[in-house]
Amino acid sequence: MARWAGRRPLLAFVVLAYAISWTLWLPGVLGVGGAPGYALLVAGAFGPALAAALVIRWTGGSVRGWFRSLWRVRVPLRFYAYAIGLPVLLFGSLNLVLAALGESVHLDRAGDAALSFLGTFVVVGLIGGGQEEPGWRGFALDRFQERHSPLAATALLGVVWGLWHLPLYGIGFVGPMLFVVFYTWLWNRTGSILLCVLLHAAFTPSLEHLLLVDDNLTVDLVILGGLLAAAAVLVLLTRGRLGYDHRPAGLR
């Protein structure tokens, strides 16, 4: 395995990430619930980070150095605002679009939605998805970008990342693929996994709690259109480079 990882580290990472996570999720897929099922669900989300650590070790790298380099906190405040504020602004503004389309926006839910957002933000940041980021962005993205343009690398990682969710989301695995562009720009501009974790922690509760409407097909289509439009704007503003030309010195 170590010899194979040395020849094809990116492929080894992807295979290991799927193998570790899907194996841990299998009991839950087969109906194991309660505390054991939840524990395995959480553990499976660490699969990409563990896969990255194994490949780095097998290829002679320093796992400690890799992990330490990911947690950059001294970045301009505007990137923190982007990580936390972009999902809030995006999904909050979709309420206006839905209202214009005739959907009933329940403003009386705003207080409960804000509290639910904060609770989910903490859970996702710690154990509910943010722990994926050292693998996807901290390991795989740069290796894809070494071989492909930033936009193509982002698309490839989006497919890999999306399909990884298949046992949990079913057809909903396409959801993460709609977010991937926003992560690439943030990673390329900051090299901070902490900020990618914050972005992950903000996207999930924004999607789950900040749309103050009853779910239906129109809502789903507006979400899809809104995410695609926002991603297209970011791609156009960066001319498809997604921040790659402004990377921190340590990532060049």
Residue 122's closest CA among 67, 227, 220, 204?
A: 204
- 163 located within any domain: yes
Which tokens go with 108? 């009386």
- 247 located within any domain: yes
pLDDT of residue 206: 96
- 45 located within any domain: no
pLDDT of residue 225: 95
pLDDT of residue 175: 81
- Give 106-128 as a DSSP string: -GGGHHHHHHHHHHHHHHHHHTS
Half-sphere exposure of 8 (CA within 13 A, CB side): 7
Determine the Cα–Cα distance for residues 33 and 29; give it in Å rounded to an integer: 9
Which tokens go with 59? 């290829």
Which tokens go with 201? 């922690």
pLDDT of residue 18: 97
Q: 3-class DSSP state for residue 240? A: coil
- 31 located within any domain: no
pLDDT of residue 208: 94
Q: State how many domains the chain has.
A: 1
Residue 130's closest CA among 72, 84, 176, 199?
A: 199
pLDDT of residue 114: 96
Mean pLDDT, contiguous 10-residue spans, the chain (252 residues): 87 97 92 86 94 94 89 94 97 96 94 96 91 95 96 96 91 85 97 95 96 93 95 96 86 65
Q: Helices 34-44 & 9-29, crossing angle to 10 degrees?
A: 170
Q: Report the predicted TM-score, pTM, of the whole model to 2 decimal places.
A: 0.94
Determine the Cα–Cα distance for residues 10 and 166; give it in Å rounded to an integer: 20
- 23 located within any domain: no
- Give 192-232 as a DSSP string: -HHHHHHHHHHHHHHHHHS--S---HHHHHHHHHHHHHHHH
Q: In angstroms, what CA-CA distances link 160 with 10, 13, 121, 227, 241?
A: 11, 11, 24, 19, 20
> For the CA atoms of the chain, what is the radius of gyration?
18
User: Exposed, middle or buried: residue 232 (CB in 10 Å: 0-12, 13-18, 19+)?
Assistant: exposed
Determine the Cα–Cα distance for residues 230 and 179; give it in Å rounded to an integer: 10
- 2 located within any domain: no
Determine the Cα–Cα distance for residues 20 and 13; give it in Å rounded to an integer: 10
- 111 located within any domain: yes
- 96 located within any domain: yes
Determine the Cα–Cα distance for residues 154 and 157; give it in Å rounded to an integer: 5
Q: In angstroms, what CA-CA distances link 22 with 18, 48, 225?
A: 6, 11, 30
pLDDT of residue 174: 83
Structural domain for 77, as ranges: 71-251
